[in-house]
Amino acid sequence: MSDIGKSIIQFIVEEQRNHPGSTGSFTGLMTDIASACKKISHLVNRSGIIGLGGAAESENVQGEVQKKLDIITNDVMVDHLNWTGHLAAMASEEIEEIIQIPDGLPKGEYLITFDPLDGSSNIDVNISVGTIFSILRCPPGVTEPTVEDFMQPGTEQVCAGFCVYGPTTMMILTTGQGVNGFTLDRDVGEFILTHPKMTIPEETAEFAINMSNQRFWEPPVQRYIDECMKGVDGGREKNFNMRWVASMVAEVYRVLTRGGIFMYPLDTKPSTDGGKLRLMYEASPMSFIVEQAGGMSSTGRERIMEIKPDGVHQRVPVILGSKKEVERVVFYHQNDA
């Protein structure tokens, strides 16, 4: 019988039964995350009506001007997750320091990193945005987590997911057993399984990159994109199409549904210190999802999932998607550098 139509919590409870000895804490944590994302979806959808569009008068740790919704959605995540007893600490794109569980509240066995509203610069132009999260285990015996306890490579993730607030609100999730997509049914307020076992085609004819950065790219990326642009006139066996939404959640969801290669490579722009995208709450969770869907994710020089972070807000180059294309870019890095 097809699982389609099953609620996300029913799906997770059934998955939990595959892990003998599980305490139900992970299921509880996922319930809280789903609840927070439903609230964020509501706020995003009504932002123009309730005056939540536009910029706040503040900058985040990245030095980026914050949108009002960046701050509000960060508060939604923290307020939904800090009292439930499933987490030992959190880390957010919007907050420089790790977020401790308030004194007096119970702590749990998990750590979470999140970008509460990725792509928020798209809010005011009504383009899809999203929430990205990554769940790690808190090291055993640690009751006051420090930044060091978060410095775990992507291979240590228990779960990774993202919500995309677009024409429909969807939650994409992996716990290491493949990738499943759930659509928010607003009539009942539930995420419903609509895209079971998502897989990325190994081949693609679609690349996504911000072409305005071209003069800053390294030779392997210059070569790869030049060949895509020339298609059959430049040595490739096909012609390519290009997309750039400037919202990672939208790009990754498209790659999951029809293939493609998404690239935010290393560039020599002064503002991008090692890359634009953040490892712990963008590149790492998205890499877990992409690999679980049969794709590949690399900096061009190493597998993103194997990078041990040196800071919560560390940036890395990202090249992910259809395996054959990512392999080609990695090959160029190994032979063109």
Whole-angstrom distance, CA of residue 172 vs CA of residue 193: 10
Distance CA(287)–CA(280), nearest Å, equals 10
**The two structure tokens encoding residue 96:** 């420089």
d(CA 182, CA 93): 24
**What are the backbone dihedrals phi and psi of residue 79, each rounded to the nearest 5 degrees, phi first?**
-65, -30
**Pairing, β 129-137 against β 159-165:** antiparallel
Does 119 help bind ligand P6P (rule: CB under 6 A)?
Answer: yes
Scanning 2-10, 242-250, 283-291, 303-311 for contacts with ligand P6P by CB under 6 A, the matching segment is 242-250
Place of tokens 């063109």: 336
From residue 273 to residue 292, the character string flagging contacts with ligand P6P as x (rule: CB under 6 A) and all else as - is ---xx---------------
Q: Between residues 126 and 210, which has the closer beta carbon with respect to ligand P6P?
A: 210
The interface region with ligand P6P, picked from 118-126, 159-167, 234-242, 327-335 by CB under 6 A, is: 118-126
- Only one of the segments 196-204, 245-253, 309-317, 326-334 lies at the binding site for ligand P6P (rule: CB under 6 A); that segment is 245-253
Residues 155 and 292: their CA atoms lie apart, in Å, by 11
91 vs 97: CA distance, rounded Å: 7
Number of residues that bind ligand P6P (CB under 6 A): 10
Q: Could you give the C-alpha distances from 164 to 126, 222, 237, 269, 279, in angstroms and in order? A: 13, 30, 33, 29, 19
Smaller CB separation from ligand P6P, 62 or 222: 62
* Contact code string over 14-53 relative to ligand P6P, x by CB under 6 A: ----------------------------------------
Among residues 58, 210, 241, 268, the one that binds ligand P6P under rule CB under 6 A = 210
Kindly tell me which of 193 and 209 has the beta carbon lying closer to ligand P6P. 209
- C-alpha triplet 277, 283, 289: angle, nearest 5°: 150
Q: Is 247 in the site for ligand P6P (CB under 6 A)?
A: yes
Residue 248 sits in the site that holds ligand P6P (CB under 6 A): yes
Length of the chain: 337
First to last CA, the chain: 51
CB of 277 to ligand P6P, least distance (A): 6
Is residue 232 at the binding interface for ligand P6P, with CB under 6 A as the rule?
no
The distance of closest approach from Cβ of residue 30 to ligand P6P in the complex, given in angstroms and rounded to an integer, is: 23
Choose which of 10, 27, 121, 199 interacts with ligand P6P (CB under 6 A).
121
CB of 335: closest distance to ligand P6P in angstroms? 27
Which is nearer to ligand P6P, 26 or 281 (by Cβ)? Answer: 281
Work out whether 132 is an interface residue with ligand P6P (CB under 6 A).
Answer: no
Report the amino acid identity of residue 9. Answer: I
Alpha helices, H only, 63-133: 68-81
Q: Using the rule CB under 6 A, is 157 a contact of ligand P6P?
A: no
Q: Which tokens is 113 given?
A: 């990193």
For residue 33, report the phi and psi dihedrals to the nearest 5 degrees. Answer: -65, -45
Residues that bind ligand P6P (CB under 6 A): 118-119, 121, 210, 246-248, 264, 276-277
